[in-house]
Structure 1
Amino acid sequence: MDEAMWALGRGTGVVGLVLFTAAIVLGIVVRSGRPAAGLPRFGVARLHRDVALLATAFIGVHMVSLLFDSYAQLTVVDLVVPFLADYEPVWLGIGTLAVDIVIAVVATALLRHRVGVKAFRFVHWGTYLLWPFAVAHAIGAGSDAGEAWFLALVGVCVLAVAASVAWRLSRRFSRPSLAGRGVRPVALIPQEASS
């Protein structure tokens, strides 16, 4: 049973990192207002949301499986309060910080009509912290941290996010002009009608 929980925790952690990488890249594409990979803008937004939710589900399974790993000996508190774990407290604490940010992002996404678009976007900026915390956690606490395949995978993830962030910060990122093309901008975050 321990081996199965360890393998499940290990696998879901790696898949979660890859999915969070994809969610970050897709989030940047969504913010650009451009279609991508043959998908219209709303399709990219939907894909971003679904990939982020799938990543969150994988990380949830990762955490729960580690509760049953007798080697790590984690408690529920260790999963939400950083730096308390007996096993690898710094690296697990960094992973816990990433999870805490995930919880905040998911909560504000679900409550965006109540908290407003500005609060939603402010909290969403936390993903730029979440992702490097997740990478640091994977390298510091991951069972495969010394393996060539894992380091190559992390390298690809880092390059993808670095290229996306560089594009996001560049002048080429500005939203394409829709004026004059007969296209009305589509709100990516629906707003409640004012009374």
Structure 2
Amino acid sequence: MTDDILWAVGRSSGVVALLLLTVSLWLGIVARSGRPLPGLPRFSVTLVHRNVSLLAVVFLVLHIGTLLLDSYAKLTLTDVLVPFLGVRQPFWLGLGTVAVDLLIAVTITALLRRRLGLRVFKAVHWLSYVMWPVAVAHTVGDGTDGTATWMLLLAGACVLFVLAAVFWRLSAGFIESARARRGESS
């Protein structure tokens, strides 16, 4: 019974972590625009982005922790920390490990932003654009329900959600924060 609960919590927390990472990435893209979201002042977008990001980390720790304790998953610390050495589906599990390693780097630099400086923070934060698709690939390739219709639809919706923000950011309508603060137009 305990293994069934661990397995269910491990699976569901992985899905929730993916959703939160998607929202976090989307909010990060939107926050760079310097424009508020409807109903939220500009500074609130950044605050919500940080809180959603930390919540994603919590669910990711729950995902990994429960799968480490689950006798069915048979995950080891090596699987979690060193990519592509897993016994079961080493490539897909390795992608999850790479995503975790990148997320650790992004999280540490975000927490130490004031000590490391803005340049280091921004340089490492760009890893989010690598980490997120790697996490999506891990979800589809290694997740128990990864190829289930509902999961493919959910992953597809996450991809569309982020792509829409990226296309918007690359569009002529995107306003960089500094220009928005000065009231300049593009």
Q: TM-score range by the shorter chain?
A: over 0.9
- Alignment match, 1:72: 73
| 1:140 is aligned to 2:141 | yes
Equivalent residue runs for 1:164-175 within 5 Å: 164-175=165-176
In the alignment, the residues of structure 2 paired with residue 120 and residue 92 of structure 1 have an alpha-carbon distance, to the nearest angstrom, of 27
The letter for the 2-side match of 1:137 is H
| 1:177 is aligned to 2:177 | no
CA contact under 8 A between 2:68 and 2:76: conserved in structure 1? yes
CA contact under 8 A between 1:72 and 1:87: conserved in structure 2? no
Question: How high is the sequence identity, in percent, across the aligned residues?
Answer: 53
Superposed displacement of residue 91, structure 1: 0.5
Specify the SS of the correspondent of 1:42.
helix
In the alignment, the residues of structure 1 paired with residue 162 and residue 30 of structure 2 have an alpha-carbon distance, to the nearest angstrom, of 11
In the alignment, the residues of structure 1 paired with residue 183 and residue 129 of structure 2 have an alpha-carbon distance, to the nearest angstrom, of 34
In the alignment, the residues of structure 1 paired with residue 117 and residue 183 of structure 2 have an alpha-carbon distance, to the nearest angstrom, of 30
Equivalent residue runs for 1:93-132 within 5 Å: 93-132=94-133
- Alignment match, 2:47: 46
The letter for the 2-side match of 1:46 is L
Structure 2: tracts of 5 or more residues without a match: none
Superposed displacement of residue 75, structure 1: 1.1
The letter for the 2-side match of 1:139 is V
Cα-to-partner distance string for 1:100-143 (whole Å, 9 max, x where unaligned): 01100110011111111011001100000110011000000011
In the alignment, the residues of structure 2 paired with residue 54 and residue 178 of structure 1 have an alpha-carbon distance, to the nearest angstrom, of 29
TM-score by length of 1: 0.89
Q: 1:40 to 1:163 in 2, by over 3 A?
A: same
CA contact under 8 A between 1:92 and 1:137: conserved in structure 2? yes
Cα-to-partner distance string for 1:28-47 (whole Å, 9 max, x where unaligned): 11111110031111100000
**Greater fraction helix:** 2
The letter for the 2-side match of 1:135 is V
In the alignment, the residues of structure 1 paired with residue 160 and residue 114 of structure 2 have an alpha-carbon distance, to the nearest angstrom, of 34
Structure number with greater CO (CA < 8 Å, separation at least 6) is 2
Specify the SS of the correspondent of 2:32.
helix
Aligned residues: CA RMSD: 1.3
- Alignment match, 2:34: 33
Cα-to-partner distance string for 1:10-66 (whole Å, 9 max, x where unaligned): 000000000000000100111111100311111000000000110111001000011
In the alignment, the residues of structure 1 paired with residue 33 and residue 52 of structure 2 have an alpha-carbon distance, to the nearest angstrom, of 18
Specify the SS of the correspondent of 2:173.
helix
In the alignment, the residues of structure 2 paired with residue 74 and residue 27 of structure 1 have an alpha-carbon distance, to the nearest angstrom, of 31
TM-score by length of 2: 0.93
CA contact under 8 A between 1:23 and 1:51: conserved in structure 2? yes
